[in-house]
Amino acid sequence: MNYLFDVDGTLTPSRLPIDEEFESFFLNWMKDKNVYLVTGSDKDKTIEQVGEKIWLNCTRVYQSCGNAVYEKGKLIRQIEFKLEPELERLLDEFLLWSDWEDRFSTNVEERIGLINFSTVGRDCPQEVRDEYYKWDSRVKERETFCQIIEKKFPEIEATVGGQISIDIYPKGKNKAQVLDEIKGEITFFGDKCQPGGNDYPIVEMLFPLIDEHTIHSVKDWKETMKILKKWKTLLKI
């Protein structure tokens, strides 16, 4: 069995460190298991969230939606994806179009193989992240921006990630690419499993094979912990 986890919102609160109790439980639970992480974040942010012990003890960690791959701490593969002027101009236009007024810095972040964009700004405090997420859940600003990007640039994909941002990468270089490397039965945990979410490409690939694989669409890390603890209890009975 292979266990594949999203990070932000699935193993941790959005952009925050993992709960101490859950970290201790997860480190013990993952022993002797094939555990993979797949996230839109980069290496440093993921380690900040899950801790170095979990990060190093995974079978593999797929950063930037699988566009940078680490095995036991070593980078084994990556792709390049640069912000071109035409796309940059479109993102600047999004900043002007957005009806969200409370703005912070770091709207565009270039990662290995991926560009992360946020109208709010990645430097905003957690309470603003929470407010924007609730607002965006109603107005669907990020989904709209993703649709515009994909229509204007057919060679690019854009998906909703985390609470405040979208992930932009070459077409086909989404999270589902990691499934080509993981052989056998897969149990997947993610919180952005709806169409347009950055976990959806994995769900779209696994769902037709649901008799062979398992998908857990969770609302937060607490639900993930509850499911894993239930499994452990059942194994003891």
Encode pLDDT of 33-82 as tens digits: 999 999 999 999 999 999 999 999 999 999 999 999 999 999 999 998 99
Question: In this structure, are residues 63 and 69 in contact, taking their beta carbons and an 8 Å threshold?
Answer: yes
Measuring CA to CA, which residue among 126, 169, 118, 112 is closest to residue 145?
118
pLDDT for the residue numbered 161:
87
Residues 15, 8: Cα–Cα separation, whole Å:
6
| Rounded (5°) CA angle 143-126-200 | 30
Average pLDDT, the chain: 93
Q: Which residues of the chain have pLDDT under 70?
A: 232-237
pLDDT for the residue numbered 10:
97
For 85-170, which CATH superfamily applies?
Eukaryotic phosphomannomutase, cap domain (3.30.1240.20)
Residues 179, 205: Cα–Cα separation, whole Å:
8
Reported as half-sphere exposure (CB side, CA atoms, 13 A), residue 11 has a value of 28
Residues 5, 35: Cα–Cα separation, whole Å:
8
Q: Provide the residue type at 99 as one letter.
A: D
Which residues are marked as active site?
6, 8
The boundaries of every CATH 3.40.50.1000 domain in the chain are: 2-79+173-236
pLDDT for the residue numbered 232:
64
Question: In this structure, are residues 64 and 112 in contact, taking their beta carbons and an 8 Å threshold?
Answer: yes
Q: Dihedral angle at the C-alpha atoms of 28, 29, 30, 35, nearest 10 degrees?
A: -150
pLDDT for the residue numbered 86:
97
pLDDT for the residue numbered 37:
98
Q: Which fold has domain 2-79+173-236?
A: Rossmann fold (3.40.50)
pLDDT for the residue numbered 237:
40
The boundaries of every CATH 3.30.1240.20 domain in the chain are: 85-170
The DSSP line for 94-118 is HHHH-------S--EEEETTEEEE-
